[in-house]
Amino acid sequence: MSEQTSYVVYFLPQKIQKRRYEVMIASAKKKGLNLVSSFSDRVTHLVTDLDKWENIEKALQEKNTNRDVTVLKSEWLSRCLKEGKFSDPINSEVLQIRPVALESQDSGKKEAIVKEYACMRKTPLKSKNPDIVSALETLSENAFFHDDEARRLAFQKAAGVIKSLNFKIKNINQVKGLHDVGKHSLEVIKDIIEEGSSIEVENIINDPWFHQMKAFQSIYGVGPSKAKKWIAQNVFTIDDLIERTDLHSSFDHRMELGISFYKDLNTQVTKQHALAIKNLIQQHLEEILPGCILVLAGGFRRGKASGHDADILLTHPIEGKEIGLLPKLLNLLSDSGLVLHGTMETGHNNPQTIMKDKGKPLASNVDHFDKWIGIMKIDKNLKDLDSSDNENDLIQLEQNSLTETSIETKKGRLSKKRSFVQTLDNNEDFARDTKKKLASNSKMSFEQLLALSSKDKQWVARRVDIIVVPVSQFFYALVGWTGNKWFNRSLRLYSQRVLGLKLTSHGLFDLNRGTSLPANSEHQVFDNLKLEYIEPTDRNC
């Protein structure tokens, strides 16, 4: 023994047969393990047969346990004793670890250990290993362009694990055996550590096809299959798309907008500008329904300084007040000349639709809120009047208390929850009229759009998502629309596989029993999920 000179181990006697416990302690001591007879701050590793933190804390008779300890199952000790040496634990022997990754304090050779689900790990915006992350994400993106969803996911998951490491990888052994880091990813990591780059990744980066795909993909309204078709038709640049009039008949209106306003829409939105857009919307709302609460979600809430759009969640502290609000808001924004284009969805947030989610793919992000996905015309000089961020509004909302838990779907009976009251007839009429009005604004031809975008204008086109959320569903929606996408995916898979519950942006549901768990804070969402709370800035998987 022992590589584990830095380990100070305390073995909890609870739940283990007394005789077995005594034998294990005696042989571990004989083999030189630094075993202590009581728990203290010195302890680095707890060994136990208990399987829950609360039981462990009870057994230790401490509330404020030093949570920096790594908790290992007694299987680790058994294995080491059998092998005659103390080696680092393998993933299945680890019960809980904090910080997320364990870096060797001595040789730099030992493995890190990460938790199985990304939603259990802290993943900050800035990685300690940016080159490796970027390489794995390039491989993932390339797989996506080639319609290879399995490879896309595999590389994305590996990138997510590396992003969560709290140390710079110096030796490939530190990441060998890590959950979700497969053979292929390991080879790439090894090349980068040892050679400074990976030939496979370099080849992709130097491939013009990859760049064209990236450029076309970044056009609003364009997906990989359309991008591929264009490349096959010898179209290589955005200018080619404008000049090749033979292709124009195959463009839909969204593509026409995306191409015309390519420059505006592909200039990153700064956080300050996004907050200013949020405030502009808030001012308009005051005229319709005072007291609404708006929160800038998406990447900005995760700490990004800029992003491709502004994701704005909108609610009212009184449940039900939000019904029919979106068409009124859009009508007013349109009258103020702030709307260039958009798609409005309304009237689907009801128990019937939510129950249909049962059959949807596990990681599906689709929700049924009233929402507008669109492009606004924002004054170039728009400044945020007060630079208020979200947090005060969130505290105000957290004080709202929520009690109801049943989703009622029987015909003829409406849920007590006002959010599920069907949209009133006059709201439906108004929504229809507004949709018509907005659609008629969208009738501009491609030529007209190109002319509009190229003239000297005082505004910029900005992608904005406005999502209207009943307050009882707000904190689930906030988690969903804060993201990121991979964090959400992991939360949903975890919740289905481990808890047997369906997590969506509307709530956490037991769809068989027709019940849901309310939450009036993000902390409560995590509590309901039996997960340790992860700050929004640590959800950048």
Alpha carbon distance 314, 309 (integer Å) = 16
Identify the residue among 160, 307, 342, 518 touching ligand 8DG (CB under 6 A).
307
Residues forming a β-bridge with 313 = 295, 467
In the complex, the smallest distance separating the C-beta of residue 310 from ligand 8DG, rounded to whole angstroms, is: 8
Residue 9: closest CA among 50, 51, 47, 65: 47
Residues forming a β-bridge with 465 = 311, 373
Identify the residue among 110, 115, 278, 304 touching ligand 8DG (CB under 6 A).
304
Contact 93, 76 (CB under 8 A): yes
Q: Which of residues 446-475 bind Ca ion (CB under 5 A)?
A: 465
Q: Which does 480 bind (CB under 5 to 8 A by kind): ligand 8DG, Ca ion, none?
A: ligand 8DG
For 377, the 3-state DSSP assignment is strand
In the complex, the smallest distance separating the C-beta of residue 464 from Ca ion, rounded to whole angstroms, is: 8
Q: Count the site residues for ligand 8DG by CB under 6 A.
A: 17
Q: Which residue is nearest to Ca ion (CB)?
A: 298
Alpha carbon distance 420, 409 (integer Å) = 10
Q: What is the dihedral of CA 346, 350, 355, 356, to 10 degrees?
A: -20
DSSP letter assigned to residue 167: S
For 157, the 3-state DSSP assignment is helix
> With binding defined as CB under 5 A, does residue 307 bind Ca ion?
yes
Q: Residues near 5 by Cβ (< 8 Å), separated by ≥ 6?
A: 34, 106
In the complex, the smallest distance separating the C-beta of residue 346 from ligand 8DG, rounded to whole angstroms, is: 14
Instruction: Pick between residue 50 and residue 313 the one whose CB is nearest to Ca ion.
Output: 313
Contact 11, 43 (CB under 8 A): no
Identify the residue among 191, 256, 367, 538 touching ligand 8DG (CB under 6 A).
367
Q: Which of residues 470-509 bind ligand 8DG (CB under 6 A)?
A: 480-481, 483-485, 488, 505
> What tokens does 176 get?
């060998």
Instruction: Convert 87-148 into a string of H (helix), E (strand) and C (coil).
Output: CCCCHHHEEECCCCCCCCCCCCCCCCCCCCCHHHCCECCCCCCHHHHHHHHHHHHHHHHCCC
Identify the residue among 6, 365, 405, 409 touching ligand 8DG (CB under 6 A).
365
Residue 251: closest CA among 447, 438, 439, 437: 447
Residues forming a β-bridge with 294 = 314
Alpha carbon distance 392, 210 (integer Å) = 44
Instruction: Pick between residue 119 and residue 277 the one whose CB is nearest to Ca ion.
Output: 277
* Bond into 64 cis (ω within 30): no
> With binding defined as CB under 5 A, does residue 298 bind Ca ion?
yes
Q: Which of residues 33-52 bind Ca ion (CB under 5 A)?
A: none
In the complex, the smallest distance separating the C-beta of residue 271 from Ca ion, rounded to whole angstroms, is: 11
Contact 289, 276 (CB under 8 A): no
Q: Which does 427 bind (CB under 5 to 8 A by kind): ligand 8DG, Ca ion, none?
A: none
> With binding defined as CB under 6 A, does residue 217 bind ligand 8DG?
no
Q: Which of residues 129-148 bind ligand 8DG (CB under 6 A)?
A: none
Alpha carbon distance 225, 234 (integer Å) = 15
User: Dihedrals φ, ψ of 449, to 5°?
Assistant: -65, -40
Q: Which residue is nearest to ligand 8DG (CB)?
A: 483
Alpha carbon distance 433, 439 (integer Å) = 10
* Residue range at the interface with ligand 8DG (CB under 6 A); choices 191-199, 304-312, 408-416, 509-517: 304-312
In the complex, the smallest distance separating the C-beta of residue 373 from ligand 8DG, rounded to whole angstroms, is: 7
The answer to whether 309 is a known ligand-binding residue is yes
The answer to whether 465 is a known ligand-binding residue is yes
> With binding defined as CB under 6 A, does residue 308 bind ligand 8DG?
yes
Distances (CA, A) of 479 to 25, 129, 376, 423, 427: 45, 26, 25, 25, 28
In the complex, the smallest distance separating the C-beta of residue 268 from ligand 8DG, rounded to whole angstroms, is: 8
Instruction: Pick between residue 90 and residue 305 the one whose CB is nearest to ligand 8DG.
Output: 305
> With binding defined as CB under 5 A, does residue 309 bind Ca ion?
yes
The answer to whether 131 is a known ligand-binding residue is no
Q: Which does 483 bind (CB under 5 to 8 A by kind): ligand 8DG, Ca ion, none?
A: ligand 8DG
Instruction: Pick between residue 212 and residue 484 the one whose CB is nearest to ligand 8DG.
Output: 484
Site residues (vs ligand 8DG, CB under 6 A): 298-299, 304, 307-309, 311, 365-367, 480-481, 483-485, 488, 505
Could you tell me which residues are annotated as the binding site?
309, 311, 465
Could you tell me which residues are annotated as the binding site for Mg(2+)?
309, 311, 465
Site residues (vs Ca ion, CB under 5 A): 298-299, 307, 309, 311, 465
